Amino acid sequence: MVNTLKCSRFKSDNMKKEECSLEPIYKLLATVLEVDLQQILDFPLSEPLEILGMDSMNMIRFILLLEEHYDIVFLNSDLILSNFSTLKRLFLTLKKYQIGGKT
């Protein structure tokens, strides 16, 4: 089992990689998209998640799972498909809620 996964902290367009625990996020995403965890781990940060099956219904399922898992409520302004269109955009959105940060 993977204990520590690579995540990205974004500053402008430059990405600085650092170790952090994103396992729950990747697992929830794999569950919603019905793909293997390894597919998510290997998926390029800037590729559209639509390739793996992300659509508006899966986004809603994913958001509900995130809210339940992290005991948060997303702002309505963040509930747009483009915020969940790539792993990079997803991590930028989650960063606002201090999810996926360094542990």
List per-residue pLDDT tens for the chain, 103 residues long.
Answer: 332 344 443 333 333 333 357 889 999 999 999 999 999 999 999 999 999 999 999 999 999 999 999 999 999 999 999 999 999 999 999 999 888 754 3
> pLDDT at position 7, please?
46
> pLDDT at position 38, please?
94
> pLDDT at position 11, please?
37
Residue with tokens 């219904």: 57
Enumerate residues 6+ apart whose C-beta is below 8 A from 82: 89
Distances (CA, A) of 66 to 1, 7, 29, 35, 81: 21, 17, 9, 17, 15
Residue 2: phi and psi, rounded to 5, are -80, 125
> pLDDT at position 17, please?
36
Tell me the whole-structure pTM to 2 decimals.
0.75
